[in-house]
């Protein structure tokens, strides 16, 4: 990759997701699996945790966190999952990921235990207003932990387009953003931490149709460092 990749607004990312499913028939589960595997790869290689807590929301971001939980467990990490919403409230694709997690014997708990790593998969780019309810409590818990926090796509509480830092907002040591960076990430480096970009299998032709030129972003692998000291 030469030069920084273009960044997307939330509306543009929604169009990417729509086109992936409806125009290219690359389903949500495929994108979710790619996102979660990339998240687990970075968690494993950078933080080398023996234990991890995955904070999972009801939507696609939470599903990616649940995928990461499976992959980390396969690598010998003790993983606990905490849901911000009851299981019946999960999106169908996320509920399927929860079913997989439970079938392989991972523990879903109400109260997060201490761990070597906290994974924030609560909200993602779909944030509207400040985090509320259980998600708000879990953001506060994550920020109170001595363990580093690794965020998926966007730290929970950060507006992905404007960069407005909500109250509360996860303060991540690192963030794995998906497909392309979001415009708000560069405006809030203090909460984003080190920034990585993960390939979720978006074909370049999709971006070309949107008038966005990206080049071979992932020529050297499915995870790219964007801002790492």
Residue 229 pLDDT more than 90? Answer: no
Report, in this order, helix, strand and coil percent for the chain, each rounded to 5: 40, 20, 40
Separation between Cα atoms, residue 129 and residue 102, nearest integer Å: 31
Residue 228 pLDDT more than 80? Answer: no
Residue 66 pLDDT more than 80? Answer: yes
- Name the CATH code of domain 10-227 (choices 1.10.3720.10, 2.40.30.10, 3.40.50.10260, 3.30.60.50): 3.40.50.10260
Separation between Cα atoms, residue 143 and residue 177, nearest integer Å: 20
Beta-strand pair 149-152/51-56? unpaired
Residue 1 pLDDT more than 60? Answer: no
pTM attached to this predicted model: 0.96
pLDDT level of residue 2 (50, 70, 90 thresholds): low
Residue 207 pLDDT more than 70? Answer: yes
Average pLDDT over all residues of the chain: 96
Q: Per mean pLDDT, which range of 25-34, 196-205, 219-228 is the poorest?
A: 219-228
């Amino acid at each position: 990759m030469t030069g920084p990749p273009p960044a997307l607004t939330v509306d543009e990312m929604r169009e990417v997701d729509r086109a992936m499913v409806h125009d290219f028939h690359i389903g949500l589960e495929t994108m979710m699996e790619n996102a979660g595997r990339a998240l687990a790869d970075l968690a494993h290689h950078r933080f080398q945790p023996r234990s991890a807590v995955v904070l999972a929301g009801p939507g696609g971001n939470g599903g990616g966190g649940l995928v990461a939980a499976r992959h980390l467990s396969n690598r010998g990490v003790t993983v606990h999952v905490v849901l911000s919403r009851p299981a019946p409230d999960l999106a169908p694709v996320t509920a399927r990921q929860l079913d997989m997690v439970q079938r392989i014997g991972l523990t879903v708990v109400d109260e997060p235990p201490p761990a070597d790593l906290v994974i924030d998969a609560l909200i993602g780019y779909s944030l509207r207003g400040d985090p509320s309810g259980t998600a708000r409590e879990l953001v506060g818990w994550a920020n109170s932990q001595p363990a580093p926090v690794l965020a998926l796509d966007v730290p929970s509480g950060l507006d992905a387009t404007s960069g407005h830092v909500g109250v509360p907002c996860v303060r991540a040591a690192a963030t794995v953003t998906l497909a392309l960076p979001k415009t708000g990430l560069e405006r809030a480096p203090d909460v984003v931490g080190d920034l990585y970009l993960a390939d979720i299998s978006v074909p370049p032709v999709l971006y070309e149709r949107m008038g966005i030129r990206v080049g071979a972003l992932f020529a050297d692998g499915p995870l790219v460092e964007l801002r790492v000291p």
